[in-house]
Amino acid sequence: MEFYFDDNDFIWSVRTTDGKLVKSQFDSLLQKRWKSASEAGVCRYQLTNLQTKVLSGTFGFVAQLNANRATQRRVPQNLQKVNNSFDPIEFNFNKVAAQEVLLKPVHKEASGKMEDNAAVIINVSPLEFGNSLLVPSVTGNIPQRVTQEGLDLLVRLMLLSSDVNLKAGFNSPGGYASVNHQHYHLYYLRERLYLEKASVEHIAGPCFALTDFPSKGFAFQLHNDPALLAKNVFILVSYLCANEIAHNLFVTRGKRFDETPTDSYDTIRVFVWAREASFGVKEEIGFNPALCELAGHLLIKEPLAYEVVTEKDAAEMLDSITRPWYHQVRENIHNLFLAT
């Protein structure tokens, strides 16, 4: 069950076209065990080929109809603020069945540290192929809050993948998190997303801003140090948590901010959105604007909404829940990264 790795296993560049993809050991193991668990009935529903379309327009939004996730997933916990204490009575990942645990990532040089207690757990209400939850410390009972150590592990797992389709992200309480136990989503998406190449502008230090995307937010990129990327992103997320600002993160392979398009993606991009909070158990009619949706991957619940969704309508929603918070947070970015 343990999956041992070190920095020599990292894949720093991946192809943007399928070609003859040679799966990394990490991808092969994760996908094999995910398929086996799904076929064994661990999930609440079988994830057959989802109806998928790319919306016409500038941003290439990917819309998918997943009615099962809307009706059969576990009822989200009723979280009322960004910073909630861990409640052992509520559902948490100490309570999952053994067959839901797909692998336990362990850095070869991190014996005795948090990675020893990390687990990748299948999402029993999957949103896409391979949808799993990285829980950086299962028994540490950390509430649904980003930690620098958790981010560091997430970036390292992304670097173990040779598959351009692997995506990752995080929903805070108020940003449609459903379980108050620190976890990050992993999943594979065949379609390309605009954010993989979206233009950015420099603000301060390592922090950039999206310039031409409806979800107004901040961007970071990997150079050659996963720990430094995690540290930089954590500076911003810590500010959001300290000020009770709901947020979402999205992580993807992509082109470097300062390079022209090539056939390879040579960095990992991390996007952070401060957003309008949505507390309590709320369900939007078309889609819940969480980490996937803010990145342009729309998980739609109802056939009619799937049929009529347009880029204009989706873009207006994403802009409305991020723009005011983006401008509020941007005023503080220079101070946050003054020393970097």
The pLDDT of residue 177: 94
6-42 tens-digit pLDDT = 999 999 999 887 656 778 999 999 999 999 999 999 9
Least confident of 40-44, 74-78, 137-141, 263-267: 74-78
Percent of the chain with pLDDT over 90: 82
pLDDT of residue 276: 95
Mean pLDDT over each residue of the chain, to the nearest integer? 92
Give the pLDDT confidence score for residue 283 in this predicted structure: 54
Q: Residue 143 — very low, low, confident or very high, per pLDDT cuts 50/70/90? A: very high
Closest CA to 119 of 1, 265, 279: 1
The whole-model pTM stands at 0.95
Residue 125: alpha-carbon gap to chain centroid: 16
* 181-201 pLDDT tens trace: 999 999 999 999 999 999 999
pLDDT tens-place string over residues 252-263: 999 999 876 677
Provide mean pLDDT across the span 266-294: 86
Q: Given a cut of 70, is residue 296 above it in pLDDT?
A: yes
Read off the pLDDT of each residue in 221-244 and give the average, rounded to a whole number: 97
pLDDT in tens, 91-113: 999 999 999 999 999 998 865 55
Across the range 197-219, mean pLDDT stands at 97
Q: What is the DSSP letter of 195?
A: G
User: What integer pLDDT is reported at residue 2 of this predicted model?
Assistant: 92
In terms of Cβ atoms closer than 10 Å to its own Cβ (0-12, 13-18, 19+), residue 7 is exposed
Asked whether residue 114 carries a pLDDT value surpassing 90, the answer given is no
pLDDT for res 245: 98
pLDDT grade, residue 282 (50/70/90)? low
> Is the Cβ–Cβ distance between 303 and 286 less than 8 Å?
no
Q: How many CA atoms lie within 13 A of 197 on its CB side?
A: 15
pLDDT at 333 over 60: yes
Mean pLDDT of 164-172: 97
Percent over 70 (pLDDT), the chain:
92
pLDDT, residue 42, reads 95
Positions marked active-site = 183
Q: What sign has the CA pseudo-torsion 105, 106, 107, 113? A: positive
- CATH T-level topology, domain 2-338: HIT family, subunit A (3.30.428)
Residue 281: is its pLDDT beyond 80? Answer: no
Distances from the Cα of 14 to the Cα of 50, 89, 160, 167, 260, angstroms: 25, 43, 11, 13, 16
Residue 29 has which token pair?
A: 């193991």
The whole-number pLDDT of residue 70 equals 64
